[in-house]
Amino acid sequence: MRRAKLLFPSVPAALLAATPTAAPGYDLRPIVIQLAPSGAGASDTVVITNSHAVPIAIEVRAYQRSQNPDGTDRRIPEDNDIIITPPQMVIAPGASQSIRLRWIGESNPERELAFRIVTEQLPIALGPKRAGEAVANLSLAYRYEAALYVVPPASKPAARISRAAPVEADGKRWLELDIASEGTRRAILDQPSVAVTPQSGQPAVLEGAAVAPLAALNILSGAYRTVRLPWPEGVAFGPVEAELHTGYMVFQ
């Protein structure tokens, strides 16, 4: 586990004094932030609340985010286009700290831009310890993240199935789908269904529990997700065509 060292020489010793056995923790709100690429909407605030009995040191960083087909993130540190104020802080027990996030990058992006805001709890390193003074011995036990999106005006989601294939794995038969997000905004699928047409035989429509892995699936703009569904009953196992029918969840 990576450990970081952070020095806060100006913080009063009374604030940093705590029993070393206490278990620190905190809360981050909100966990989804949407910024406009320019104007008054290009900044917003998140709040970290220290819900435990010892002070905690927090560092906040931003990462550019892209998406692998399995839904995991690829991340690159974002040190230029998002200003975080303050990027480091010590929060007293029971207190809250507001953090301002401001976008200063491209004012007219072609599509929505996705980022992660990562908050990490850090150890606190002080100067020489005073006699009889207890100091919190904190480690990177807590890490919370928020999703940040820079959303161009009039951006819209759109998704389609770009590949459908029969797959046998783990002793079962699956319909493997690549679902591409081709709109200018992330596609969060709402009440999706899939029409499956085999080369011969009767077609089938999958909906409800049959497409549960697709419900609320979040696909970043320009990315695609690979998902497996149980092979539909009554459809011959083999090459098929598949068409996605779905609405989208859009957050304002």
Distances (CA, A) of 128 to 13, 24, 50, 89: 11, 23, 26, 21
Structure tokens at 74: 């690829």
In a shared domain, residues 97 and 163: no
In a shared domain, residues 117 and 174: no
pLDDT in tens, 192-241: 999 999 998 889 999 999 999 999 999 999 999 999 999 999 999 999 99
At residue 25, the pLDDT reads: 74
As for how many domains the chain has, the answer is 2
pLDDT in tens, 87-104: 999 999 999 999 999 999
In a shared domain, residues 101 and 181: no
- Give 42's contacts (C-beta < 8 A, 6+ positions apart): 35, 36, 102, 103, 104
At residue 140, the pLDDT reads: 45
pLDDT category of residue 23 using cuts at 50, 70 and 90: very low
In a shared domain, residues 175 and 236: yes
Identify whether 117 is part of a domain: yes
In a shared domain, residues 54 and 145: yes
In a shared domain, residues 117 and 33: yes
In a shared domain, residues 51 and 146: yes
Domain range for 106: 26-124+141-150
CA 148 – CA 117 distance, rounded (Å): 7
pLDDT in tens, 110-141: 999 999 999 999 876 534 455 554 444 444 46
pLDDT category of residue 17 using cuts at 50, 70 and 90: very low
In a shared domain, residues 36 and 90: yes
In a shared domain, residues 91 and 170: no
Identify whether 201 is part of a domain: yes
Evaluate if residue 154 carries a pLDDT over 60. yes
In a shared domain, residues 146 and 51: yes
